[in-house]
Amino acid sequence: MILHELIDYPTLRVIWWVLLGVILIGFAAMDGFDLGTGILLPFVARDDIERRVVINTVGPVWEGNQVWLILGGGAIFAAWPQLYAVSFSGFYLAMFAILFALILRPVGFKFRSKRESATWRSAWDWALFIGGFVPALIFGVAIGNTLQGVPFRIDNEMRIFYDGTFFGLLNPFALLCGLVSVAMLTMHGAAWLALKTQGPVRERSVRYGRLAAIATIVLFALGGVGVWLLVNGYSITSPIDPAGPSNPLLKEVARSQHAWFANYAAHPWTLIAPALGFLGPLLVLVLIGSKREILTLLSGFVTMFGIISTVGVSMFPFILPSSEQPNASLTVWDTSSSHVTLFIMLVTTVIFLPIILAYTSWVYSILRGKVTARQIEGGGHAY
């Protein structure tokens, strides 16, 4: 038997749909508190030492956390090539804005303390704020547009055309999803700062964390109402061949209100996802400020899992619907790479993902403990 036949094609497709979700959740959980810390930087720290304390909570780890972003891009490119083609071309300007904002982070970390000027340092503090706020907002906006459908089409020669504009992405529902993302990551950053700082910085982080947790609950609920009232979901109306060719044009798709809720009606156990989306920030609201700091941070992870899984479960088997040509919508069953490619990637992932998790755990165990003003004033390798 050929090795890749040990797992059939439909199962591999579902496995990679799950793995894509795991990578997105991993990115939100690990790099999310970096972004949230950047958003909170100008507000939880009042003087230069306090701001350096905040920066040094993420300075040693943010680069390692970026691995999840690289993993996500690589996984989409290799496992879902048509998804990569549509998203990276259609969302080009949005992704450029994200990259520009993310570039501000390493530059800000490295250059902020090169001069004693208060104006110089304040400018880099706000650059770090932009480096956290803009990606958090645009990632959420992208999810909002995905739920509504993206204006692309595919011709009979499988050429993909994107007919949308950058400002078209900034519609009210997508911006609401962007605010959900900002609130969620701000809450996560506050939980991280509550774990890693002490004194006035921690107290302010706790206050902002509670506000962000409340905002996450309210905005997530509003997002659900928006999907119910404003967004037409997608459903496949033709027979489905889970082992069929990767040709999105071989199916029929209909748009209808409430279609994104069909999976919850058919499989009530999937309601666990939105339930965790509400439970996570509620736990953060209750726990932040207590001595259960690690549990608070883990509650942020629960939030990421719940909210991101809610989107995935609602849309399954769709990955990227087309608002312009619904029949061309990309799904789990007709968008993936070949059986052999998915199997080889799975074997590679089984080998290397545990290594990534192991060295990440080791780094965080070495860097455990709080960052204090005394450590910063002592110099050394502090930013």
Beta bridge partners of 235: 254
- pLDDT attached to residue 352: 87
Burial class (CB in 10 A: 0-12, 13-18, 19+), 255: middle
- pLDDT attached to residue 93: 85
For tokens 């083609």, the residue is 85
Single-letter code of the amino acid located at 149: G
Tell me, yes or no, if the pTM score tops 0.75: yes
| 39-43-49-51 Cα dihedral, nearest 10 degrees | 10
Report the C-alpha gap between 98 and 294 in whole angstroms. 29
Q: What is the pLDDT along the chain (383 residues), one digit of tens a residue?
A: 465 667 889 999 999 999 999 989 988 988 888 999 999 999 999 888 889 899 988 888 887 788 888 888 888 888 999 888 888 877 888 888 988 998 888 888 888 888 888 889 899 999 999 999 999 999 999 999 999 999 999 988 888 888 888 888 889 999 999 999 999 999 999 999 999 999 899 999 999 999 999 999 999 999 999 999 999 999 999 998 898 888 999 999 999 999 999 999 999 999 999 999 999 999 999 999 888 999 999 999 999 999 999 999 999 999 999 999 999 999 999 999 999 999 999 999 899 888 888 988 898 888 888 888 787 776 655 67
- pLDDT attached to residue 305: 95
SS (H, E, C) the chain: CCHHHHCCHHHHHHHHHHHHHHHHHHHHHHCHHHHHHHHHHHHHCCCHHHHHHHHHHHCCCHHHHCHHHHHHHHHHHHHCHHHHHHHHHHCHHHHHHHHHHHHHHHHHHHHHHHCCCHHHHHHHHHHHHHHHHHHHHHHHHHHHHHHHCECEEECCCCCEEECCCCHHHCCHHHHHHHHHHHHHHHHHHHHHHHHHCCHHHHHHHHHHHHHHHHHHHHHHHHHHHHHHHHCEEEEECCCCCCCCCCCHHHCCEEEEECHHHHHHHHCHHHHHHHHHHHHHHHHHHHHCCCCCHHHHHHHHHHHHHHHHHHHHHHHCCEEECECCCHHHCEECCCCCCCHHHHHHHHHHHHHHHHHHHHHHHHHHHHCCCCCCHHHHHCCCCCC
Answer left, alpha or beta for residue 245, where phi above 0 means left and psi between -120 and 50 means alpha.
beta
Asked if 314 and 260 count as a contact pair (C-beta separation under 8 A), the reply is yes
